[in-house]
Amino acid sequence: MVVNTWEDYEIIKTSKGMKLERWKDIYLLRPDPVITWDLGDFSHYKIDAIYHRSSSGGGHWENKNSIKDSWVINYKDLKFLIKEMGFKHTGLFPEQALNWDYAREKIKKAKREIKVLNLFAYTGGATVSCLKEGAHVTHVDSSKGMIDWAKENVKLNHLENRPVRYLVDDVIKFVKREIRRGNKYDAIIMDPPSYGRGSNGEVWSLETDLEPLIKLCKEILTDNFLFFIINTYSANLPSASLKALIEINFPNQKYSVDELCLPIKDVKYSLSCGITGRITNE
């Protein structure tokens, strides 16, 4: 699945483990481990900032030109705040635009009140998208900083008065509490990391914790749920494994498992950006 619906974002060139991207009018050069080919250097391209990895872990941004602390990019009728973050991130994963569009279309067609649970919700790309179509959204992330950023994105889109609640919480503990409370959701979106820590230092491991979390989430889905989206960026969970997890836990539901890709300017191939599984009753 190639995301070709962006105007404010594009990949300009890829080579030697690096990708040059345009984020509106800012050009960033960042590492990407799936780029294993050599198409020459980037010396003839405009570059505003480069992310350098450190041999001891992490890294830093080198700004070649003056860059604001944050700037706004548009996706269709949505707006998102972009920043240079530690560990090469910018606060947005452009390939997820396909899932934003999918969620919005499903919510729009439902023509009823929809409750969405966004887990590992990060800076709220999916939250903004679902709010835009009138859904009620519960946004859960273990990082207060990411929650604050998500609130900025919601406000940027003038959606702060829509029904949304934010929780700084460990995802597994939150879902278990929702089961005890008897709360149900019409849609769940999750974007789990390979490894992470909860709000109180709880350890998350994709390999050992994903299926238990899927089983817990099944208990808080309504009988006629709209969709359940599971994203993964880990090489340790290939598409065949995600497909197996879905078939085992949702044997009677329709589903799809696809690789999300972004086009690269002026070449015929695309850049792999992770896997997404979508489960639906339709």
Half-sphere exposure of 10 (CA within 13 A, CB side): 12
pLDDT digits (tens, 9 = 90+) for 18-55: 999 999 999 999 999 999 999 999 999 999 999 998 87
Q: Are residues 179 and 46 in the same domain?
A: no
Is the domain of 239 the same as that of 255?
Answer: yes
Domain boundaries, position 37: 9-69+80-88
**pLDDT tens for each residue of 82-126:** 999 988 999 999 999 999 999 999 999 998 999 999 999 999 999
Say yes or no: 65 and 181 in one domain: no
- Output the domain CATH number for residue 44: 2.60.40.1180
Share of the chain above pLDDT 70, in %: 99
In a domain, 1, yes or no: no
Same domain, 57 and 115: no
How far apart CA 205 and CA 122 sit, in angstroms, is 17
pLDDT tens, position by position, 173-208:
999 999 999 999 999 999 987 777 776 777 777 888
For residues 99 and 84, membership in a common domain is answered with no
* Tens-digit pLDDT profile for residues 209-225: 899 999 999 999 999 99
Residue written as tokens 């609640």?
Answer: 165
Q: With 70 as the cut, is the pLDDT of residue 227 above it?
A: yes
Report DSSP state, residue 65. Answer: S
Q: Which phi and psi angles does 221 have, rounded to 5°?
A: -85, 140
Q: What is the mean pLDDT of residues 152-166?
A: 97
Q: What is the mean pLDDT of residues 212-240?
A: 92
Helix axes 125-132, 144-156, angle to 10 degrees: 40
Structure token pair of residue 64: 């070649």
**pLDDT per residue over 132-149, tens digit each?**
999 999 999 999 999 999
- 282: pLDDT strictly greater than 80: no
Q: Which residue has the tokens 């029904």?
A: 163
Answer whether residue 235 shows pLDDT above 70: no
Domain count, the chain: 2
Within this chain, do residues 128 and 242 fall inside the same structural domain, yes or no?
Answer: yes
Report the pLDDT averaged over residues 257-269. Answer: 93
Work out the angle between the directed axes of helices 171-181 and 206-218 (0-180°, nearest 10).
20
Mean pLDDT (the chain, rounded): 94
Residue 272 forms part of a structural domain: yes
- For residues 24 and 53, membership in a common domain is answered with yes
How many other CB atoms are there within 10 angstroms of residue 268's CB atom? 6
**What single-letter amino acid sits at 72?**
V
